[in-house]
């Protein structure tokens, strides 16, 4: 298993070292995998976010492909526009990839995203989700989980609403392909990226990318936390075709309690036992619903 | 950038106008540095041979059995044999048992051994020794058990002329006469002996040292002598009737069956004893036709010194176990007819035995097999040797083999008392090492490896799969040379303090849970490679910089110019060979 991990793993890097991400950056890791798949055949559109900085402030660049920075709420529309422009000059090959944070996706860019999705523009939209506005110092977003602390939801008033179910919103748009992925499962992540690149129309990848600075955990646990999120089922890995057909990518063997994921993250320090139980219930309910959905709507893959 | 060639967009030069980030040396942010340090796998510490198990398992995982044999023979030249008979000390300690099930190390070992048997080719030039350092030296080995055979193998590797003296007409020691043939099929032993002959080992069977030729004579004729005479002197029970016909020692009984002197067994058999010899003799008696076999042992099943595997085999064959029982008397006129026995109070090994006098009972008996333990054959050869062993041990405690006096050595059961095949092979290996030193050849010329740590992965023991060719033996040995001042083909020492890497240091999550696999290669792939870089590349996969690079030779290198010291690699490394440490001069 380990051997195939390296054996099939594309060796060539399209993300350069020397970039300005913090040590142990989940989003940096995610994009390293993504560009291994998209290589140089893509234009990447980045709205205001940590990745604006990681990709390089003028005149630097850390990605070996064309990058276009755009305003915070505009990523989806800018991406769609570029794609149309490329087609206008006869380039139907080059992919346009939007690389946006959770703030830009769940909150401020939502209306543009919804419009582009509804029109089924030929665009690959990647949301890297670090569950808060991190580049401006950890303000809660609608992607922040229930019970998490941030500078705008400080102790003792942790976030009281659950994380927005973005995948359901995207599925409701009936887009051809949507998937969740995690930096802890790079082979799965790249396979989904590959699949997304082959589909025409609007595609959405929701990637779980821990931010140890914002979550209050030791930096070395980025991948371990991302893995625990999948194993505890708080962030399940799955795909949705045409907004209706679900396929779960990995079934965690044992039921690891959510507690194992929460502990060691300072952002959850304020949770008491009853709140944790509530969160566990929510996780179990979501997982059961996902399993039902996958059972009732078998995924018919195009490969 | 060839970016624009296909689509004509964007115009050439777009990327050139910007500055690539590698001029930004983010390594200066670092205050902890990933440090590469291999440590001992628990299996390796448990194996009497200190076999580099994760190393050769890793070769098998890559499908490279030739490479696996090359690594294996550094530790164990007879994997086909240990693959059959070893008690799997390694598997008892395997960390994978904490995850799902221990790696089936012995099965993979057997596969490597059988591969070797199938692929062995004689060197037509007769120059089988890879090295010439002992060319012209003559060594006599007394005893052809696993200790003697293993020493012969390693000495031939360095070019010495080796003659084995064996008192029995057949070679192999207890491999031939003791271990039941259902556990070690004799064609496997025969093949091993044939290979040794082809390698140039001279077998003189039917020649007892002390009878046909004396030890001093031997010492005069050879440059050095190894005594690997085993521990086959049966202890006496000290009960009445022990001299009656129909009473046999366990080793004699097994030897007679295996050499064909005794064809079959019949009637009622009683075995006295609780060690491997007793259990194997009972099992063989039952399998070769005894109507009923009762094994009397003075304590409980849990206290039996025999290996559980053998006890189970005997139980499955239909042997009756009678626990907490001792023989009191052997009765009969011309030959044994029955035995009288007494029960004992429950006791643990080492505690004094308390016999319960009121409990006497009798057992019908046509054949009584006595297995009261064995002692070293050294005193039988020369009573003065006992003393010599004690003296030498005081001066320089034995590690597998002992230098008794100038150019006289002892190894195997003869030195340790009854042990195991793996331990005997280890003794032979160590004896070869000592003999090489004593016969005056130069130790490896490379300087000992400094114990300091580096950040490179280039010290990984395994040569990359790509370069593992049939001729890679010499190149492979070179690698060991650089690791320590050892001889090519001699096992590298264990790492650092003699304790095993903890399960905590490993990242089992990277392995899907799955029990033992039937396919050898898959099974080998279940090994966590504890404490041993397997070049799996997980560190490289999870580095967000990326600041880890794979060298053309397959090793990994940390780019200290860019490593920010996050430590993800150290957490994720499934073998636990990376740790984060403060390194002077790195960061603040
Ligand atoms: C019944 C039984 C079953 C066993 N099963 C297992 C098992 O399943 N797995 C395992 O790991 N271990 C097993 N063992 C233990 C193992 O067989 C021994 O530890 C091992 O064989 C010791 O090897 P050795 O080379 O030191 O001695 P031996 O194998 O005893 O060989 C010594 C040889 O020296 C010869 N010799 C003695 N004196 C002279 C002389 N004066 N001149 C010339 N030759 C001489 C003997 O004839 C003999 O061939 C078993 C032991 C017994 C008794
Ligand atoms: C219209 C607008 N409002 C606010 C900002 C300030 N701003 C820049 S990055 C950022 C946070 C982005 O959060 P997210 O999209 O989650 O990405 P992250 O930084 O977490 O990677 C904010 C609020 C801005 N650049 N433009
Ligand atoms: S010799 Fe025995 S303990 Fe050593 S690796 Fe082989 S089976 Fe395991
Ligand atoms: S997993 Fe491999 S290296 Fe670790 S103890 Fe088991 S066999 Fe040895
Ligand atoms: Mg964010």
User: Is B54 close to ligand 4, i.e. is its CB under 6 Å away?
Assistant: yes
Residue A302 lies in a domain: no
Distance CA B32, CA B569 (A): 12
Residue of A nearest to B12 (CA): A66
Cα B580 to middle of ligand 5, angstroms: 28
Residue of A nearest to B510 (CA): A2
* H or E segment to which residue A24 belongs: none
Q: Taking CB atoms and an 8 Å limit, are B572 and A29 in contact across chains?
A: no
Contact list in A for residue B15 (CB cut-off 8 A) is 61, 64, 66
Mean pLDDT score of chain B:
86
Distance CA B142, CA B519 (A): 40
CA distance B476 to chain A (A): 22
CB B338 within 8 A of CB B364: yes
CA distance B154 to chain A (A): 33
Q: Quick one: which atom of ligand 2 is closest to the CA of A211?
A: 20
Q: Which residues contact B209 (CB under 8 A, 6 or more apart)?
A: B142, B165, B167, B215, B218, B229, B381
Interhelix angle A110-118/A75-88, rounded to 10 degrees, is: 40
CB B510 within 8 A of CB B538: yes
Interhelix angle B53-61/B105-119, rounded to 10 degrees, is: 70
For residue B362, give the 3-state DSSP assignment: strand
CA distance A59 to chain B (A): 5
| CB proximity B534 to A under 8 Å | yes
Residue A278 lies in a domain: yes
Burial of A1 (0-12, 13-18, 19+ CB in 10 A): middle
Cα B79 to middle of ligand 3, angstroms: 8
Residue among B40, B45, B84, B89 to mutate when testing ligand 3 (max atoms within 8 A of CB): B89
Q: Taking CB atoms and an 8 Å limit, are B3 and A61 in contact across chains?
A: no
Residue A221 lies in a domain: yes
The b/e string for B13-46 (b: 16+ C-beta within 10 A; e otherwise) is eebeeeebbbebebbebbebbbbbbbbbbbbbbb
**pLDDT score for A121:** 98
Q: What is the pLDDT of residues B86-107, one digit of tens each?
A: 999 999 999 999 999 999 999 9
| CB proximity A251 to B under 8 Å | no
Banded model confidence at residue A298, pLDDT cuts 50, 70, 90? low
For atom 3 of ligand 2, the residue with the nearest CA is A72
Q: What is the pLDDT of residues B552-565, one digit of tens each?
A: 877 899 999 999 99
Ligand 5 is a single-atom ion; what residues have CB below 5 A from it? A 101-102, 130, 134
Residue A233 lies in a domain: yes
Whether the predicted pLDDT of B441 surpasses 80: no
Residue A35 lies in a domain: yes
CB atoms within 10 A of CB B239: 17
CB < 8 Å from B in window 67-126 of A: 86, 89-91, 93-94
Two tokens at B96? Answer: 């994978």
CA distance B29 to chain A (A): 9
**pLDDT score for A6:** 64
Burial of A89 (0-12, 13-18, 19+ CB in 10 A): exposed
Q: What is the pLDDT of residues A64-82, one digit of tens each?
A: 999 999 999 999 999 999 9
Residue B456 backbone phi and psi in degrees, to 5: -90, 160
CB B403 within 8 A of CB B409: yes
Contact list in A for residue B20 (CB cut-off 8 A) is 16, 18, 60-62
Instruction: Identify the CA nearest to A68 among candidates A90, A91, A96.
Output: A96
What CATH number is given to the structural domain containing A178?
Answer: 3.40.50.970
User: Tell me, what DSSP letter sits at residue B531?
Assistant: T
Distance CA B318, CA B294 (A): 9
For residue B331, give the 3-state DSSP assignment: strand
What's the length of chain B?
588
User: Is A183 close to ligand 2, i.e. is its CB under 6 Å away?
Assistant: no
Q: Quick one: which atom of ligand 1 is closest to the CA of B413?
A: 26
Q: How far is Cα of residue A111 from the mean position of the Cα atoms in its chain?
A: 18
For residue B477, give the 3-state DSSP assignment: helix
Residue of B nearest to A43 (CA): B10
Q: Taking CB atoms and an 8 Å limit, are A18 and B567 in contact across chains?
A: no
Question: What domain count does chain A have?
Answer: 1
Q: Taking CB atoms and an 8 Å limit, are A93 and B6 in contact across chains?
A: yes
CA distance B77 to chain A (A): 28
| CB proximity B60 to A under 8 Å | no
DSSP string, B31-97: SSEEEE---B-HHHHHSTT---HHHHHHHHHTT-HHHHHHHHHHH-S-HHHHHHH---HHHHH-GGG
Q: What is the pLDDT of residues B224-253, one digit of tens each?
A: 999 999 999 988 888 888 889 999 999 999
CB < 8 Å from A in window 25-44 of B: 25-26, 29-30
Distance CA B411, CA B230 (A): 8
Residue B558 backbone phi and psi in degrees, to 5: -90, 130
Cα B412 to middle of ligand 1, angstroms: 8
Whether the predicted pLDDT of B202 surpasses 80: yes
Cis peptide before B575 (omega within 30 of 0): no
Residue A275 lies in a domain: yes
For chain B, what is the radius of gyration of the CA atoms? 29
Cα B151 to middle of ligand 4, angstroms: 27
**pLDDT score for A300:** 56
User: Mind listing the domains of chain B with CATH numbers?
Assistant: 138-231+376-438 (3.50.50.60), 238-372 (3.50.50.60)
**pTM of the prediction?**
0.86
Per the DSSP assignment, residues forming a β-bridge with B204 are: B165
Q: Taking CB atoms and an 8 Å limit, are B564 and A94 in contact across chains?
A: no
ipTM (interface pTM)? 0.95
Ligand 3 neighbours, Cβ below 6 Å, are B 47, 49, 51, 53, 76, 82, 86, 88-90, 105-106, 109, 422
CA distance B149 to chain A (A): 37
For atom 1 of ligand 2, the residue with the nearest CA is A72
What is the residue whose two structure tokens read 């010899």? Answer: B277
Cα A167 to middle of ligand 3, angstroms: 52
Two tokens at B249? Answer: 């020692």
Q: Which residues contact B409 (CB under 8 A, 6 or more apart)?
A: B224, B225, B226, B227, B401, B402, B403, B431, B434, B435, B438
Contact list in B for residue A223 (CB cut-off 8 A) is 542, 568, 571-572
Mean pLDDT, residues B169-178: 97
Whether the predicted pLDDT of B474 surpasses 50: no
CB < 8 Å from B in window 120-179 of A: none
Q: What is the pLDDT of residues B123-152, one digit of tens each?
A: 655 555 556 678 889 999 999 999 999 999
Q: What is the pLDDT of residues B261-270, one digit of tens each?
A: 999 999 999 9
Banded model confidence at residue B477, pLDDT cuts 50, 70, 90? very low
The b/e string for B117-140 (b: 16+ C-beta within 10 A; e otherwise) is beeeeeeeeeebbebebbeebebb
Residue A58 lies in a domain: yes
Residues A196-200: contacts with CB under 8 Å, at least 24 apart: A196/A124, A197/A37, A197/A38, A197/A95, A197/A124, A198/A302, A199/A302, A200/A122, A200/A176
Among candidates A1, A21, A64 on the partner chain, residue whose Cβ is nearest the Cβ of B544: A21
The b/e string for B296-330 (b: 16+ C-beta within 10 A; e otherwise) is bbbbbeebbebbeebbebbbeeebebbbbbbbbeb
Among candidates B3, B536, B566 on the partner chain, residue whose Cβ is nearest the Cβ of A220: B566
Residue A301 lies in a domain: no
Whether the predicted pLDDT of B5 surpasses 60: no
CB B336 within 8 A of CB B216: no
Phi-psi bin for B225: left (phi > 0), alpha (psi -120 to 50), beta? Answer: beta
CB A10 within 8 A of CB A36: yes
Residue B34 backbone phi and psi in degrees, to 5: -70, 125
Q: How far is Cα of residue B28 from the mean position of the Cα atoms in its chain?
A: 47
Angle at A249 between CA A243 and CA A250, to 5 degrees: 145
Least confident of B3-17, B160-174, B376-390, B509-523: B3-17
Residue of A nearest to B564 (CA): A23
Q: Which residues contact B220 (CB under 8 A, 6 or more apart)?
A: none
**pLDDT score for B48:** 97
Q: What is the pLDDT of residues A40-57, one digit of tens each?
A: 889 999 999 999 999 998
Q: Is the dihedral of CA A16, A18, A20, A25 positive or negative?
A: positive
CB B560 within 8 A of CB B33: yes
Distance CA B147, CA A241 (A): 66
What's the length of chain A?
303
For atom 4 of ligand 4, the residue with the nearest CA is B530
First to last CA, chain A: 22
Among candidates B541, B544, B561 on the partner chain, residue whose Cβ is nearest the Cβ of A5: B541
Q: Which domain holds residue A76?
A: 2-295
Mean pLDDT, residues B513-542: 93
For atom 27 of ligand 1, the residue with the nearest CA is B230
Two tokens at B8? Answer: 């004509």
């Amino acid at each position: 298993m380990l051997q195939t991990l390296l054996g099939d793993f594309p060796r060539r890097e399209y993300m350069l070292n020397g970039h300005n991400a913090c040590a142990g950056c989940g989003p940096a890791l995610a994009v390293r995998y993504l560009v291994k798949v998209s290589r140089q055949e893509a234009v990447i559109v980045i709205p205001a976010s940590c990745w604006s900085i990681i990709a390089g402030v003028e005149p630097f660049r850390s990605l070996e492909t064309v990058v276009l920075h755009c305003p915070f709420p505009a990523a989806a529309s800018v991406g769609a526009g570029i794609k149309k422009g490329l087609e206008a000059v006869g380039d139907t090959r080059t992919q346009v990839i939007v690389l946006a944070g959770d703030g830009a996706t769940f909150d401020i860019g939502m209306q543009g995203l919804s419009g582009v999705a509804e029109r089924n523009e030929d665009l690959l939209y990647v949301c890297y989700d670090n569950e808060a506005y991190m580049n401006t110092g950890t303000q809660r977003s609608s992607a922040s989980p229930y019970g998490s602390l941030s500078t705008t939801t400080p102790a003792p008033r942790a976030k009281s609403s659950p994380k927005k179910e973005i995948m359901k919103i995207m599925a409701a748009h009936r887009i051809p392909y949507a998937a969740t992925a995690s930096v802890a499962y790079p082979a799965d992540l790249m396979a989904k990226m590959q699949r997304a690149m082959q589909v025409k129309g609007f595609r959405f990848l929701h990637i779980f990318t821990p931010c140890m600075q914002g979550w209050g955990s030791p930096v070395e646990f980025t991948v371990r936390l991302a893995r625990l999120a999948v194993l505890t089922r708080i962030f399940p890995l799955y795909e949705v075709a045409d907004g209706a057909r679900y396929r779960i990518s990995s079934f965690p063997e044992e039921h690891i309690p959510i507690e194992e994921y929460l502990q060691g993250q300072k952002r959850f320090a304020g949770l008491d036992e009853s709140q944790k139980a509530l969160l566990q219930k929510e996780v179990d309910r979501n997982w059961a619903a996902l399993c039902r959905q996958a059972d009732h709507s078998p995924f018919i893959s195009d490969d | 950038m060839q970016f624009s060639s296909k689509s004509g967009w964007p115009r050439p030069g777009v990327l050139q106008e910007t500055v690539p980030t590698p001029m930004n040396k983010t390594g200066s942010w670092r205050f902890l540095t990933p440090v590469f340090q291999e440590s001992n796998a628990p299996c390796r510490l448990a194996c009497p041979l200190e076999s580099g198990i994760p190393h050769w398992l890793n070769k098998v995982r890559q499908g490279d059995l030739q490479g696996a044999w090359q690594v294996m023979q550094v530790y164990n030249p007879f994997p086909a044999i240990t693959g059959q008979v070893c008690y799997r000390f390694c598997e008892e300690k395997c960390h994978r048992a904490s995850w799902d099930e221990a790696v089936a190390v012995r099965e993979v070992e057997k596969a490597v051994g059988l591969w070797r048997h199938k692929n062995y080719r004689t060197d037509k030039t007769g120059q089988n020794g890879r090295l010439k350092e002992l060319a012209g030296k003559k060594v006599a080995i007394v005893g052809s058990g696993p200790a003697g055979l293993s020493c012969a193998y390693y000495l031939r590797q360095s070019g010495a002329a080796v003659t084995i003296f064996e008192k029995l007409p057949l070679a192999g020691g207890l491999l031939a006469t003791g271990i039941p043939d259902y556990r070690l099929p004799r064609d496997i032993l025969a093949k091993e002996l044939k290979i040794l002959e082809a390698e140039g080992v001279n077998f003189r069977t039917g020649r007892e040292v002390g009878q046909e030729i004396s030890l001093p004579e031997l010492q005069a004729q050879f440059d050095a002598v190894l005594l690997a005479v085993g521990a086959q002197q049966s202890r006496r029970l000290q009960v009445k009737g022990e001299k009656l016909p129909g009473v046999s020692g366990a080793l004699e009984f097994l030897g007679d069956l295996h050499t064909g002197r005794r064809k079959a067994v019949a009637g009622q058999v009683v075995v006295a004893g609780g060690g491997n010899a007793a259990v194997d003799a009972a099992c063989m008696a039952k399998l070769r036709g005894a109507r009923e076999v009762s094994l009397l042992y003075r304590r409980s099943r849990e206290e039996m010194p025999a290996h559980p595997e053998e006890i189970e085999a005997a139980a499955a064959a239909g042997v009756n176990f009678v626990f907490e029982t001792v023989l009191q008397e052997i009765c009969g006129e011309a030959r044994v007819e029955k035995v009288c026995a007494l029960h004992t109070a429950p006791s643990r090994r080492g505690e004094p035995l308390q016999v319960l006098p009121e409990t006497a009972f009798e057992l019908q008996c046509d054949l009584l097999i006595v297995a009261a333990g064995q002692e070293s054959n050294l005193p039988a050869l020369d009573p003065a040797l006992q003393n010599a062993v004690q003296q030498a041990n005081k001066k320089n405690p034995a590690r597998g083999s002992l230098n008794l006096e100038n150019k006289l050595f002892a190894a195997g059961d003869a030195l340790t008392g009854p042990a195991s095949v793996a331990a005997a092979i280890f003794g032979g290996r160590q004896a070869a090492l000592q003999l090489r030193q004593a016969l005056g050849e130069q130790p490896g010329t490379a300087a000992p490896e400094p114990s300091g740590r580096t950040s490179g992965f280039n010290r990984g023991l395994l040569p990359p799969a790509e370069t593992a060719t049939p001729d890679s033996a010499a190149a492979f040995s070179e690698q060991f040379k650089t690791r320590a001042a050892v001889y090519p083909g001699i096992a590298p020492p264990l790492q650092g303090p003699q304790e095993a890497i903890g399960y905590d240091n490993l990242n089992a999550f990277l392995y899907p849970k799955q029990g033992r696999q039937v396919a050898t290669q898959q099974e080998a792939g279940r090994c966590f490679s504890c404490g041993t870089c397997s070049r799996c590349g997980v560190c490289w996969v999870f580095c967000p910089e990326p600041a880890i690079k794979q060298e053309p030779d397959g090793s990994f290198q940390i780019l200290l110019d860019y490593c920010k010291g996050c430590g993800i690699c150290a957490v994720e490394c499934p073998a636990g060979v990376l740790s984060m440490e403060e390194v002077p001069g790195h960061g603040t």
